[in-house]
Amino acid sequence: MVLPSAFIASLRELPGFDEAAFLDVHNQGVFPTSIRHNPRKAGQSVGFGASHPVPWCASGRYLSSRPSFITDPAWHTGQYYVQEASSMFLEQAYLQHAAGFEAPRVLDACAAPGGKSTHLRALMGDSGLLVSNEVIRTRVGILSENMQRWGGAGVLVSSADPRSFGTLSDFFDVMLVDAPCSGSGLFRREPEAVKEWSPEQVELCGARQQRILGELWRSLKEGGLLLYSTCSYSPRENEDILDWVCGTLGAESLALSPDPGWGIVETRAPLSGAFGYRFYPHRLEGEGLFMAVLRKTGGAAVPAKRTAVQGLVPLGHREADLVKPWINEGDRYMYARLGESIRAIPEAVAEDMALIAAALPVREAGVALGQLMRRELIPDQALALSGLLSSVVPTLALSRQEALDYVRKDELRLEGAPKGWALVTYEGQGLGWVKVLEGRINNYYPKAWRVLKR
């Protein structure tokens, strides 16, 4: 792999950079594969060998090879997420500084495809509200899919421009900005991206990162935390951004204490002295990453922009009584419609979700239960994966081959299955819905999720 000379020259003075070792790992053509287990769906094994733990993430494991995840039914039930190991350092940032917030309101502002959002949801346990936002419309579908697969009800998926968040003034306790960047940290995995790199592109990314942060700033509470990360090595997108946030928006830096044996390099921003953490593939098993934690001390902010929204409409008692039996502890939820879809929203975050749905374009709120048609609930895929389902709903356990037939939407034969709706499961976890009729089984796996690979 030929890396641009201007790129290498821009890294030479950075702490922890070793040119020969850096070029060497980029020329080897190999990189680690890692997954993060889902604690909600724990206790199950992945159908292939996990080799050793990711040092900075309790649920992270490296794999000895890269299997076909798409043909592993356990992946479809959301038992694990395939994620690059350095990104899992979010766990240290969250646990060391954000774990003290009780029932926090957390925003993941640049969330697709959902790696860090699924991680945040796991780190938050069952409490608090996570808003996973992705401004690029074409990327919201995959974010929503991954959040559904991960399960749980305390997530709202929105698709708003960062500037629209200004209408939620002083709202969030924690904000993750995993910013769009020049992507040099991923060159080893995506050699095609090398062609896009230029000093001008780095400058454009830096300016965009400042714009995003400035637009979001109003919605972070004073004393709230900004977790900032990129997968770029360039100081313009990292240390310089910390300086700009501290100096212009008003923030102080919080240090992290990674184990010295992990190979993570601490860096300081030139003006503010803010702490940052650099990941280099020649120093550890992972790709290039930068991460920092800042605490908001000041209030400079860009004015808010209002956008057209759909809103959550509370469900009447009669309709709520029709859907409640489908879920466990149904009284802990508020029921509402988002468009045609009926949602179960944890009471504890219902007011917050309603407020956000009135301010931003919302794609998902709580768990989509399904649609009511002539007083019958047509259950949603999200309900199957949520972990909320009541034990009175019939289930059909599938073998690995049957589970694969199911996600491929091939014909299923399940002898002796009782008529009506049933949840199909794999290794004890919900996979999707079938409706058993006289002489045939209707497969309700979403068409858009169908697996084509044989």
CB 317 within 8 A of CB 340: no
Extract the tokens encoding 249: 């928006």
- 133 Cβ neighbours under 8 A, 6+ residues apart: 107, 108, 109, 110, 111, 157, 158, 159, 160, 165, 360
CA angle 75, 77, 83 (to 5 degrees): 40
CA gap 218, 303 in Å, rounded:
8
Extract the tokens encoding 151: 């399960």
Q: How many residues does the chain have?
A: 454
Q: Which range binds ligand SAM by CB under 6 A, 24-32, 33-41, 111-119, 253-261?
A: 111-119
User: In this structure, are strands 155-158 and 129-133 parallel, antiparallel, or unpaired?
Assistant: parallel
Q: Which of 46, 74, 93, 112 binds ligand SAM (CB under 6 A)?
A: 112
Of residues 114 and 370, the one with the C-beta less far from ligand SAM:
114
Q: Which of 113, 128, 281, 361 binds ligand SAM (CB under 6 A)?
A: 113
121 binds ligand SAM (CB under 6 A): no
120 binds ligand SAM (CB under 6 A): no
Of residues 178 and 352, the one with the C-beta less far from ligand SAM:
178
Of residues 110 and 384, the one with the C-beta less far from ligand SAM:
110
The string over 61-94, giving b where at least 16 C-beta atoms fall within 10 Å of a residue's C-beta and e elsewhere, is bbbeeebebebbbbbbbbbbbebbbbbbbbbbbb
> How many other CB atoms are there within 10 angstroms of residue 365's CB atom?
29
What is the amino acid identity at position 121?
A: R
List, by residue number, the catalytic residues. 231
254 binds ligand SAM (CB under 6 A): no
Q: How far is the CB of 406 from ligand SAM (least distance, A)?
A: 27
Q: Which residue has the tokens 């709706």?
A: 421
Q: How far is the CB of 212 from ligand SAM (least distance, A)?
A: 5
60 binds ligand SAM (CB under 6 A): no
Q: Which of 115, 258, 276, 286 binds ligand SAM (CB under 6 A)?
A: 115
Q: How far is the CB of 58 from ligand SAM (least distance, A)?
A: 18
Q: How far is the CB of 109 from ligand SAM (least distance, A)?
A: 6
Q: Which range binds ligand SAM by CB under 6 A, 105-113, 217-225, 328-336, 368-376?
A: 105-113
Q: Which range binds ligand SAM by CB under 6 A, 112-120, 354-362, 417-425, 444-452?
A: 112-120
CA gap 220, 236 in Å, rounded:
23
CA gap 244, 221 in Å, rounded:
18
111 binds ligand SAM (CB under 6 A): yes
Q: Which range binds ligand SAM by CB under 6 A, 104-112, 218-226, 250-258, 287-295?
A: 104-112
Kindly state the number of chain residues that form the binding site for ligand SAM, as judged by CB under 6 A: 17
186 binds ligand SAM (CB under 6 A): no
110 binds ligand SAM (CB under 6 A): yes
The string over 330-361, giving b where at least 16 C-beta atoms fall within 10 Å of a residue's C-beta and e elsewhere, is beebbbbbbeebbbbbbebbbebbbebbebbb
287 binds ligand SAM (CB under 6 A): no
Q: Which range binds ligand SAM by CB under 6 A, 24-32, 56-64, 107-115, 374-382?
A: 107-115
Residues in region 127-166 near ligand SAM by CB under 6 A: 134-136, 139, 162
Q: Which of 72, 178, 287, 427 binds ligand SAM (CB under 6 A)?
A: 178
The string over 282-301, giving b where at least 16 C-beta atoms fall within 10 Å of a residue's C-beta and e elsewhere, is bbbbbbbbbbbbbbbeeeeb
> How many other CB atoms are there within 10 angstroms of residue 9's CB atom?
11
> How many other CB atoms are there within 10 angstroms of residue 316's CB atom?
9
Of residues 116 and 218, the one with the C-beta less far from ligand SAM:
116
Of residues 142 and 437, the one with the C-beta less far from ligand SAM:
142
Q: Where is 349: in which H helix or E strand? A: helix 347-357
Q: Which range binds ligand SAM by CB under 6 A, 109-117, 257-265, 272-280, 430-438?
A: 109-117
Q: Which of 55, 73, 78, 114 binds ligand SAM (CB under 6 A)?
A: 114
Q: Which chain residues interact with ligand SAM by CB under 6 A?
A: 87, 110-116, 134-136, 139, 162, 178, 180, 208, 212
